[in-house]
Amino acid sequence: MGIIQTGPGSPLAFASASGGKIYGYNNINETTATIVAKINPLRQSITFHNPNSFDVFVAPQFVQNVLGTAPTQPSDVALVFANNALNDSFRVYGNGGALTVTGECQHAWQALAVTGAGTGVALTVMESNT
C-alpha cells in the first residue's frame, strides 16, 4: 500500500488544516464595534493589519471576567467597548501597524476606530488554522 504524503493547507490535506484566510474591511467606525473574525475553534493565529492613518482597536468579543471583579470560574462575558472604555483591547497603530495573536485566539474578534477617524476605516484580518 502506498503512503499518502501532504502538507498543512495543501489540496490533499485530510484535516481541518488551512492556511491563511484574509478578510478586508472598509467600514470600521469610531462608534460601534464591528465583528471582524467569527469564532473559529481551529484558529492558531490571527493577524490584524492597519493600512490607515488612524489607529484601530481590536478586542475579543468575549472575555473571561468583568473588569473589577476577581476571576473565579472562567466564563464568557460579552465585551462591549467604546473609545471611552478600551479595556481588554489592543491598539493597532495606523500607517501599516500590525498585531498577531497566537494561541488562545479562537473567539470572535471585534474592531473599533479611534475617536476622530469617522466611519470608513479599513482593516485587514488574516487567520490561520496551522
Residue 18: what pLDDT?
63
Query: In this structure, what is the dihedral angle of CA atoms 82, 21, 39, 25, given to the nearest 10 degrees?
Result: 30
Nearest to 47, CA basis, from 26, 17, 28, 19: 19
Residue 88: what pLDDT?
85
* DSSP single-letter state for residue 114: P
The CB density around residue 99, as the number of other CB atoms within 10 Å, is: 15
Inter-residue contact 77 to 62 (CB < 8 Å): yes
Domains of the chain: 21-128 (2.60.120.770)
Residue 14: what pLDDT?
47
The reported pTM is 0.79
Over its length of 130 residues, how does the chain's per-residue pLDDT go in tens digits? 555 555 555 554 445 666 679 999 999 999 999 999 999 999 999 999 999 999 999 999 998 765 555 656 667 888 888 888 888 899 999 999 999 999 999 999 999 999 999 899 999 999 999 8
Cell triple for residue 36? 471582524
Inter-residue contact 107 to 59 (CB < 8 Å): no
